[in-house]
Amino acid sequence: MITESMSKQLKAIVGDKYFRTDPEALITHSYDGTPMLQALPDGVIYPETTAQVSEIMKIASANRIPIVTRGSGSNLCGGTTPLQGGIVMVMHRMNQIIEVDMENLTATVQPGVITGHFSKHIEELGLFYPPDPSSMKISTIGGNIAECSGGLRGLKYGTTKDYVLGLTAVLPSGAVIHTGGKLAKDVAGYDLTKLLVGSEGTLAVITEAILKLIPPPKTKKTMVAMYKDIYGAARTVSKIIQQHIIPATLEILDNPTIRVVDDFAKIGLPLDMAAILIIEQDGEPEMVERDIEAIYTICREEQADRLEIAQTREEAEKLLTARRSAFTALARLRPTTILEDATVPRSKIAEMILRTNTIAIKYNVNIATFGHAGDGNLHPTATTDARDSEEVHRVEEAFAEIFEAAIALGGTITGEHGVGSVKAPYLEWKVGEAGIEVMKGIKAAFDPHHILNPGKMFAKETRKRLVIHHG
């Protein structure tokens, strides 16, 4: 509960307008992009500076008030839903690009900067910030750092963690720490920068970040390959990498996704294909030509049924339509869309997709899979209706089995969405009991009173592990 005197103190820090406890504010900060999850906070606060965040944290600590930091609230793991009430801290007002350092190729930004705006700004300066989560038009850099967001370019360019060089963060005590810097090398102590990236708002509040920029690729070329045999598609992926070609994008759509996408976008996709690969290479023009030619040969060797190389940017955009509309097409099928991100070593993607299809049939649920084949990060997506509790239960059972299958294949329960509350019951499956204990120790070192994003990452109870017989 927030007392009258706490409310006064908080308003004194940020101004009357920026600490709210009215119903409108509470309702509209009770959710994020995660289906079937809603919990009301007790207040919403909009800080403008690191100093304000520090003052807020002191009050929250003294009164043991939960603080849930939030950018645009587009995450899919329940990461910013205030499950235990408390105060939602919205970082939108801290939205300045403080500096772009052309000598060190770094940018210093506040956490509330919209990723898409930032990318565009950087491109206008002739540089490149590769992380491109699908939500980048609205998600914030702070949110991307907290969740360690990935995107389509992960295989070649890595994910958010590979572009964060330094952070300013406020601990629950109110103390401000600075990690890393504009440095390519820095081994002074534990790597707290990397630790905070992907910590999901459970360790500290990030208030500033130094990001790495790189020179942009000169050209890019796009192609599409369609397969009647999903193993042919999978072998193509492995072979491309084996031949030391690292494409900028290497995406896969499975048959259920192809059907849904074609029904939605009417682009004449062949419905008898087991999989479609969408491949993009970028870089120096000669290298791009050479790579695309080599990939084309591999696709043919692996019995691709249809092959298309885009000759112009417009043609490329057309080829990318199938991948771009996958989420939209699926989201329109049923009221509730559950998008997961089970990830396996890339050599295992065919097996993972086929297992997912089998699991969907077993539980009689609709699951289509698309995703980033190049880095093994798949998006099995269930379409259902939150109001049908019986079906939702079956979906949950199916996902538990999908997570189990991913781990059995040497993969993980989440590749880029984060654990949050949704996957907390499965975390131990991946990291083990000892792993959980170490993580809890780290949590306690940063946040002894458990006020930062409580109820996330660590579940009260780990879900009972399924016993699966692999034939």
Partner 1 sequence: MASPTGKFGKPAIEHSNPLARTLLEKLDYDQLTNCMRCGFCLPACPTFHETGMEPASPRGRIAMMKAAVDGLMVPDQQFKDQMNLCLGCRACEPACPADVKYGQLIEQTKEAIAEHAHYTAPVKILRNTLFKKVFPKRGSLKLLGGTLALYQKSGLKKMARASGMMRLFPKHLAEMESIMPPASSKGVVERLGTFYPAQGEKVGTAAMFRGCIMDVMFAGTNVNTVELLSAAGFDVHIPDAQVCCGALHAHSGEINDARALAKANIEVFKKLDIDYIVSNAGGCGALLVEYDHLLMQDDHYREDAKWFAERVIDVSTLLVAKGNPLRFAEQAAGQEEVKVTYQDSCHLRNVMKGAHAPRVLMKKVANTEYIEMVDADRCCGSAGIYNVVQPEMAGDILAHKMEHANNTQASYMLTSNPGCLLQMKLGIEKHQPQQTMRAMHLVDFLRERMISSK
The footprint of partner 1 (CB under 8 A) covers 22-25, 27-35, 40, 72-74, 90, 92-93, 95, 114, 116, 135, 137-139, 327-328, 331-332, 335-337, 385-388
Q: Which of 259, 252, 265, 263 has its CA nearest to residue 325?
A: 265
Q: Which is nearer to partner 1, 95 or 255 (CB)?
A: 95
When computed from its CA atoms, the radius of gyration of the chain, rounded to whole angstroms, is 23
The nearer residue to partner 1, 182 or 324, going by C-beta atoms, is 324
Q: Would you state the structure tokens that stand for residue 308, as one six-digit string?
A: 């298309």
Strands 43-45 and 87-90, bridge-based pairing:
parallel
Sheet holding 97-101: strands in order across?
97-101, 106-109, 205-212, 164-170, 176-180
- What's the CA gap between 273 and 426, in Å, rounded? 33
45 or 245, CB closer to partner 1?
45
| DSSP states along 45-59 | E---SHHHHHHHHHH
Write down the least CB distance from residue 159 to partner 1, Å. 20
Q: Look at phi and psi of residue 4 and say left if phi exceeds 0, alpha if psi is from -120 to 50, else beta.
A: alpha
Q: Which residue has the tokens 């494409």?
A: 247
CA–CA gap between residue 100 and residue 215 (Å, rounded): 13
How near is the Cβ of 278 to partner 1 at its closest, in Å?
19
Nearer to partner 1, 173 or 337 (CB): 337
Nearer to partner 1, 25 or 359 (CB): 25
Contact 14, 52 (CB under 8 A): yes
> Whose Cβ is closer to partner 1: residue 131's or residue 376's?
131
CA dist 208 to 2, 232, 371, 399, Å? 28, 46, 31, 36
Closer Cβ to partner 1, 132 or 401, answer by number: 132
Least spacing, CB of residue 200 vs partner 1, in Å: 17
- Nearest approach, Cβ of residue 34 and partner 1 (Å): 8
